[in-house]
Amino acid sequence: MRHYRQLATALCPLLLLCAHAHAEVDLGALDLYANDGATSPVPKGLVIGGAVLGGQARYKAQDNSAYIIPGAIYFGDKFMYLGDRARYYFHKDDTFAAYGYGRVRFGNLDPSDDEAFKGMNERKGEFEAGIGANFITPYALLTARITTDVTGRSNGQELLLWADFPIILDKLLIMPGMGMMIRSDKMANYYFGGISSGEATPQRAAWDTGTTVSPMAAIITSYRFSPNWVGMFAANYELYDKDIADSPIVQHSGELYAGFAVGYIW
């Protein structure tokens, strides 16, 4: 079961490598075990592949988009590189794992992109660091992770609480997951619809999101085609906190992203 969990996470980062795809896709910390076996769903080493990703734009002046994205990931004994994020395990056993975590969050609003953003401050990318823990049970993989901006952009924090429930059918994995993302007021205002008094206009009222709590759900299906090829489909939906959804510049009550990926195991 652990190996199939690992396969799901191995391909998810291929959906995250495009700086213009601002999805908040996080499907749990499933990458706990990899081995060198010829039939292992997640072998140690390098996986190279690509994905087709599409989803809803966050802001009213932005259009929904689809992307074709190349990517690569790496699984070592303790270090995992997962596209836009990486982690280092400082403890792992059969029931518990603890790790350090780093992520590059891409910027998602540029005033030069559309007249509707004129007068707003650019939401630039940032590097986030934190710690996380996995609790492994016979029926679910539970995750808790907290991160903070260390580059001085948003100066915000996020707390993820998540559970995955894998169903294994031979070479096929069907795995629903659910949880919540709790964002500090600084994080939510910077990346999720905040409008400062200096950015406000008669057509764009000032908006303070405050601290937000957004429930999320995901489903992953993955299939091992051969010793060298794996494929997957994944979808993730976040139901925005009301204070995000009601922002004058946010266009939906939530955010849906889905994609298909194929990876070659070196």
Alpha carbon separation from 21 to 29, 62, 96, 98 (Å, rounded): 21, 11, 32, 29
What integer pLDDT is reported at residue 22 of this predicted model? Answer: 46
pLDDT tens digits along 85-141: 889 999 998 899 999 999 999 999 999 989 999 999 999 999 999 999 999 898 888
Alpha carbon separation from 84 to 5, 70, 109, 158, 159 (Å, rounded): 19, 12, 18, 16, 18
Tell me the residue range of the domain where 12 lies: 2-265
Look at residue 148 and give its three-state secondary structure.
strand
> What CATH number should be reported for the domain holding residue 83?
2.40.160.40
- The structural domain count of the chain equals 1
pLDDT tens digits along 136-191: 898 888 999 999 999 999 999 999 999 988 887 777 878 889 999 999 999 999 99
> Cα–Cα distance between 242 and 131 in angstroms, integer?
28
**C-alpha dihedral (103, 172, 144, 213), degrees to nearest 10:** 80
Q: What ranges make up the beta strands (E) of 151-253?
A: 157-164, 167-169, 172-183, 212-226, 229-239
Cβ-contact 265, 227 below 8 angstroms: yes
What is the average per-residue pLDDT within 29-42?
Answer: 60
Which of 98, 99, 100, 147 shows the shortest CA–CA distance to 127? 147
